[in-house]
Amino acid sequence: MNKVKFGLSNCHYAVKTVSEDGGVSYATPVALPGAVNLSLDQEGEITPFYADNIVYYSSSNNNGYSGDLEIADIPKSFYEDVLGYTEDSNGALVENSDAVIKPFALMYEVKGDEKPRKAVLYNCMVTRPSVTAATSEDTATPQTDTLNITATPREDNKNVKAVMELSDTNSEAFNNFYKTVYEPVTTPSL
């Protein structure tokens, strides 16, 4: 079992579609290279109920996560597939104010001191990235793009996230993690 985790790599995204009957499906995952940082804070709160002059009962809710995804340079495919940009006949990416940002699953990997972990956030939305540019100085310091991201529960099964650590029994699922969006497998009880 890992004691620490570090590193971020192998980010992928898969555009999500919800059918008329509420079923969720995903496009084939696409690599999102250049991941620098993923920083997500939990969304939800604990609600206490007081009785007998004490907290008699408390409940918590899980509204997912929100934060930032920092990328070296957002690839053209993400601009088109998720952010709704279009390409004109000269190869220019065009942002239109009527473009609809699409929900997607975000998949990624972190290293551990013993074993790697892969994770998927099932229902993500992002804002358009801010535009930044800076003059070059004595050394070339790369500029990055940051997307504000929220990950909320899926509509159909309320799943927010799945995390898989490599083990002796899941190597096939672990090695094929980026071929399709991972769906939990339940073992029937006897």
pLDDT tens digits, one per residue of 30-73: 999 999 999 999 887 777 778 887 888 777 778 899 999 999 99
Identify whether the C-beta of residue 124 lies closer than 8 Å to the C-beta of residue 106: yes
pLDDT for 2: 59
pTM reported for the whole predicted model: 0.86
Identify whether the C-beta of residue 156 lies closer than 8 Å to the C-beta of residue 22: yes
Bridge-based pairing of strands 104-112 and 65-71 is unpaired
Q: Report the phi/psi class of residue 98: left, alpha or beta, with left for phi > 0 and alpha for psi in -120 to 50.
A: alpha
Considering only the C-alpha atoms of the chain, give the largest distance between any 2 of them, rounded to a whole number of Å.
72
pLDDT class of 115 with cuts at 50, 70, 90: confident
pLDDT tens digits, one per residue of 8-18: 999 999 999 99
pLDDT for 84: 96
pLDDT of 187 over the 70 cut: no
pLDDT class of 153 with cuts at 50, 70, 90: very high
The radius of gyration of the chain from alpha carbons, rounded to an integer in Å, stands at 20
Q: What is the C-alpha separation between 141 and 101, in angstroms, rounded?
A: 30
pLDDT for 7: 83
